[in-house]
Chain A
């Protein structure tokens, strides 16, 4: 499964990408919405993990634009706020929502809940 991680916290997102790779995902990361759009135009991703609050283009706008580029792409929102407002926003967008900090198993379970993990080559433990 090809996963694109988008979060302005570079250290966080780079380590998360490594941990997902160790678990068989093909994970790339970028720190800006504009870079995510470029990445989606250049490569095919099954899923994008989007930080809701980022400077410039936030996760909500990015989701809409990515969906226009890659109609089959699925999304998971990530946020450090964890507010009721964010939760409701994620639900209104029809996307799962996960609050930082989280256990990687929780993320993988969330991805699995989208029904995307089994059909995309996610391998065994790294």
Chain B
């Protein structure tokens, strides 16, 4: 299927690059801990008669290696899922799952603050859209949230089905001017996705309303 979205290839590659950079950073951190833990085990076992305390230290290191490998597999699993979002230019997506994955990927950014996905109990929300570009938009919004919100604050992301499509709402972001939240490119992405923004300054929420089916450039 050919791309029918209006965001150029360079922008898409830039997004992929940003995600891969932060994911590889996270992976390096996990592997660095594995490496140091293995190194400490090796250091301890150089002693021909390790003490009980040494044996306990080795057990702690072994647990750390197992934990960090689990963490690494989780990271790789998310990266794999993300890679497959580029399989089709337009596809049916489950929005909550997509937002959840994007929030996890954005959480690897070095300046990330905690982001909690609010459980709306709404079940699955499915729309037909451009998965990669929707991930790009959500990622950009979370980047803005991390930059604008003070460290340790929480941004809740809620997904719900609405008449004609889906809505993603991000708490706290409604307190800012759109110019501070979204670059021109990001706003263009909203348009490409056939969506529109809802700024609710009273409750401090930013909403993105997305159509049930993205309109292709050809109008199909």
Whether chain B is bound by chain A comes out as yes
A→B interface (CB under 8 Å): 9, 11-12, 15-16, 18-19, 22, 53-56, 58, 80-83, 99-104, 126
Binary CB contact string for chain B from 28 to 60 against chain A (1 if under 8 A, 0 otherwise): 110111111101100100000000000001000
Chain B residues near A101 (CB-CB < 8 A) = 28, 31-32, 34-36
Q: Closest CB-CB distance, A51 to chain B, in whole Å?
A: 9
Q: For chains A and B in complex, what number of residue pairs have CB atoms within 8 angstroms?
A: 67
Q: How far is the CA of A58 from the CA of B57 in the complex (A)?
A: 30
Interface class of chain B by DSSP: helix
The segment from B90-98, B109-117, B128-136 that touches chain A is B109-117
User: Would you call the interface of chain A mostly helix, strand, loop, or mixed?
Assistant: loop
User: Chain B nearest CB: distance from A97 CB in Å?
Assistant: 14
Q: Does B64 contact A (CB under 8 A)?
A: yes
What are 6 A-to-B residue pairs whose CB atoms are below 8 Å? A11-B67, A12-B36, A53-B25, A54-B110, A82-B28, A100-B29
Interface residues of B (CB under 8 A from A): 21, 24-26, 28-29, 31-37, 39-40, 43, 57, 61, 64, 67-68, 110-113, 151
Question: A80-B26, A80-B29, A100-B32 provided; 20 other pairs, C-beta below 8 A?
Answer: A9-B32, A12-B32, A15-B40, A18-B40, A53-B111, A54-B110, A55-B110, A55-B151, A58-B110, A80-B24, A80-B25, A81-B28, A99-B28, A100-B31, A101-B32, A101-B34, A101-B35, A103-B39, A104-B36, A104-B39
